[in-house]
Chains A and B, each alone.
Chain A
Amino acid sequence: MRKGEILIETKDLVKIYPMGRHELVALNRVNLIFRKGEFAGLVGPSGSGKTTLLNIIGSLDLPTSGSAVVMERRVEELSHKEAARLRNEHIGFIFQTFNLLPYYTAYENVEFPLLLLKVSASERRRRVMEALDWVRLADRASSRPAQLSGGECQRVAIARAIVKQPAIILADEPTANLDAENSHNILQIMAELNHELGTTFIFATHDEKVISYLKRKITLFDGRVVKDEIIS
């Protein structure tokens, strides 16, 4: 996959949630293109549609109308199984609350996506340790989430997202539960990964610290794209 190649394209993307007798328009005719190697952020106030857009791109949700093409697959046409495969092979997720599997060590959490991909044991070990090295947590491989700090948990989550070397990483408010120092550490790691591996990062955030790292800032308001700017 070449740098600059289109990975994600949304066309007239609409998402409406029924709210009793009323409807909530979460996304209103969103047209966006994301290319390989981007470090982009969806910014805007709560309820502007950032997470909804991220969920549709991540094939966790379906649009009400319009289309979202991710890695040449139309999300709205995917079966549950196909959507799961798309996520498994091409998309990494980073969540605000880390979402680590509580009974697993850091190593096992990072290993999990590779188990689903049926990667051989020796290759798994190499890639897990490499991912933990990237996030500077190789020495905490055998710790469980309960034994790690918030910043360390989020670094494990990043390692879990990158270990399968996905084309896209979707990060939903990744620094919301972290202090300033940890936030910067994590953003630096992600910026390095973007630079070194060419992984496309898309953030949903309203954190100024995150915004300061972005190369592209897409502002959403009431489900519409109101501004799409490249930051030099």
Chain B
Amino acid sequence: MKLYLKLAWRNLLAAGLRTWLNVIVLSFAFVAIIWSQGLYRGLSRQAAQAMMEAEIGGGQYWHENYDPYNPLTLDKAHGLVPASLAKLIEEGKATAILIVQGTLYPKGRFFPVLIKGIEPRQKVLLFPSKYLETSNPDEIPAVMGSRMANTCNLKIGDTVTLRWRDKSGAFDARELRLVHVMRTTVQSIDQGQVWISLDRLRKLTGLENEATVVTLAREANWAEEIPGWSFKSLDFLLKDIDEVVRSKNIGASIVYIVLLSLAMLAIFDTQVLSIWRRRKEIGTLMALGMTRSQVIKLFTLEGALHGVLAAAVAAIYGFPLLSLFARKGLGMPEVVDSYGFALGERILPVYSASLIAGTALLVMLVTTIVSFLPTRQIAKLKPTEALRGKIT
């Protein structure tokens, strides 16, 4: 093998510009794969992190009737907080959230909203609930996400009418005062929602001590079976993110598949050309005592070494480039708010050793296969015809 490596390496370098063109295109594919995969990994991790911090903590207990995709179930999706969860809430290891349907009437318009009640002093989530505290019993402070505030054309200090139905189905309405607009990357605590104090919502609806969801602190590490409540693990709660990232990733993959295909086409052509141009050399190698399979091995290795060179070249410019991205991140424009999940202003890509090794393995495997395919022609080659420069 050492001999073949030495010979293949020498032949490859001797091919000069043709080799380097192939290597450069292949190295682009290399860097593009690692860059985009790292970006999506970073994106996924960042979105998951933001969701855990602001919404789902270390997992949630859902009332058995709660279905976040069906607001019509909300009327029945609440119940008394079970004693075991109440104890956790008391210890600061969980926080309860009550969700009811309502309608907001900002400046003559109306918006169906989810009214969410959260404990102002909770420390389980990184959520600006402290703004909901008030000593004035006549005032209902409310917090909204910036997207929701924009949609309703509201700003801090504005008042807005909120209508809801209490536990017996009777409509009631009050004025809210917007006390804080939060900028959050987590759209699921922003769009179509208004947050008020849990105690106040319970009083307004008559649902004393009740909740729809109990969110556990990330360090709570608690997943007991509770009748009437269903535990939702982080795997379950982050499933949507994984799926969205996966679907976005497929789109990104097309770019590097095209790049990789271009590089592979170039290598395939090079191999075909090489066999045609060097048929006399192939004949000489056979006359000197190489078997056909040894010549095939030599030419395949020669092609496959493009992958090794490409990895080296990619490392030269890719390492500083990707390191820069990993440190500085990639700025996200505002429009990506419609991306479908939490996105920060900057995405910090995550490049793992397994990603780099996996990409290297993939590129080298594909390069080897593409290099091997044209060399099968050699198996049909008669040494006498090859020596005369003919190909059959």
Q: Do these two chains interact?
A: yes
Give chain A's interface residues, CB within 8 Å of chain B. 55, 58, 60-61, 80-81, 84-85, 87-89, 93, 95, 97, 99-104, 112-113, 115-117, 160
Which 8 pairs across A and B sit closest by C-beta, in order of nearness? A88-B289, A103-B14, A84-B291, A99-B284, A60-B383, A87-B289, A93-B287, A61-B384
Chain B residues near A103 (CB-CB < 8 A): 10-11, 14
Interface flags for B256-299 (1: CB within 8 Å of A; 0: not) read: 00000000000000000000000011011111111111100000
Asked whether B382 is an interface residue with its Cβ less than 8 Å from the other chain, the reply is yes
Asked if B289 and A58 make an inter-chain contact with CB atoms under 8 angstroms apart, the answer reads: no
**A60-B294 Cα distance, complex, nearest whole Å:** 16
B45 CB to nearest chain A CB (Å): 48
In the assembled complex, the Cα of A95 lies from the Cα of B387 at a distance in Å of 9
User: B379's closest neighbor in chain A, by CB?
Assistant: A80
A230 CB → nearest B CB, Å: 29
B289–A84 touching, CB < 8 Å: yes
Complex interface residues of chain B between 350 and 389 (CB less than 8 A to chain A): 382-384, 387
Give Cα A102 to B290, complex, Å.
17
User: How far is the CB of A33 from the nearest CB of chain B, in Å?
Assistant: 23
B-chain residues with CB within 8 Å of residue A60 when the two chains form the complex: 286-287, 383-384, 387
**A/B interface sample: 10 pairs, CB < 8 A:** A60-B384, A60-B387, A87-B287, A87-B288, A88-B289, A93-B288, A95-B284, A99-B284, A99-B287, A117-B289
Contact call A101/B287, Cβ cutoff below 8 A = no
How far apart sit A61 and B287, CA to CA, in the bound complex (Å)?
11
- B383 contact set on A, CB distance < 8 A: 60-61
Give Cα distance in the complex from A80 to B296, angstroms: 14
Q: Which of A85, A99, A101 contacts B289 (CB 8 A)?
A: A85
B382→A61 contact, CB < 8 A = yes
- State how many angstroms separate the Cβ of B151 from the closest Cβ of chain A: 69
Q: How many residues of B contact A (CB 8 A)?
A: 22
With A55-B384, A60-B287, A99-B280 given, can you name 12 additional A-B contacts, CB distance below 8 Å? A60-B286, A80-B292, A84-B286, A84-B294, A87-B286, A93-B288, A95-B284, A95-B287, A99-B281, A99-B284, A101-B285, A103-B10
CB contacts (< 8 Å) of A116 on chain B: these are: 3, 288-290
A88-B384 in contact given A101-B281, A103-B14, A104-B10 (Cβ < 8 Å): no
Contact B290 A101 (CB under 8 A): no
- Nearest-Cβ distance from residue B383 to partner chain A, whole angstroms: 4
Bound form: Cα–Cα A102–B281 in Å: 8
CB of B284 within 8 A of CB of A101, answer: yes
Closest residue of B by beta carbon distance from A82:
B291
Contact call B286/A88, Cβ cutoff below 8 A? no
Residue of A84, A89, A102 with most chain B CB atoms under a 10 A cut-off: A84
Q: Note all chain B residues with C-beta closer than 8 A to A99.
A: 280-281, 283-284, 287, 387
Name the distance in Å between A121's Cβ and chain B's nearest Cβ.
Answer: 11
Give Cα A147–Cα B281 distance, bound, in whole angstroms. Answer: 18
Which residues of chain B come closer than 8 Å to A104, judged between CB atoms? 10
Q: Which residue in chain A gives the minimum CB-CB distance to B285?
A: A101
Query: In whole angstroms, how far apart are the Cα atoms of A51 and B293 in the complex?
Result: 25
Docked pose: A88 CA to B291 CA in angstroms: 10
A104 to B291, CA, bound (A): 20
- Assuming the contacts A99-B387, A103-B10, asked whether A113 and B3 have C-beta atoms less than 8 A apart, the reply is no
Look across to chain B and name the residue whose beta carbon is closest to the beta carbon of A172.
B387
**Residue numbers in A under 8 Å from B285 (CB-CB):** 101
Contact B291 A81 (CB under 8 A): yes
Bound complex: CA A116 to CA B289 (Å): 7
Report the minimal beta-carbon distance from A15 to chain B, rounded to whole angstroms: 11
Q: Which residue of A lies closest to B295 (CB)?
A: A84
Residues of B within 8 A of A113 (CB): 288-289
A117 and chain B: residue at smallest CB distance: B289
Residues in B whose Cβ lies below 8 Å from that of A112: 288
Query: In whole angstroms, how far apart are the Cα atoms of A115 and B2 in the complex?
Result: 10
Nearest chain A residue, comparing its CB with the CB of B280: A99
CA distance A85 to B294 in the complex (A): 12
In the complex the two chains form, is B290's CB within 8 Å of A84's CB? Answer: yes
* CA–CA, A187 and B285, complex, Å: 25
Q: In the complex, A101 Cα to B387 Cα: how many Å?
A: 12
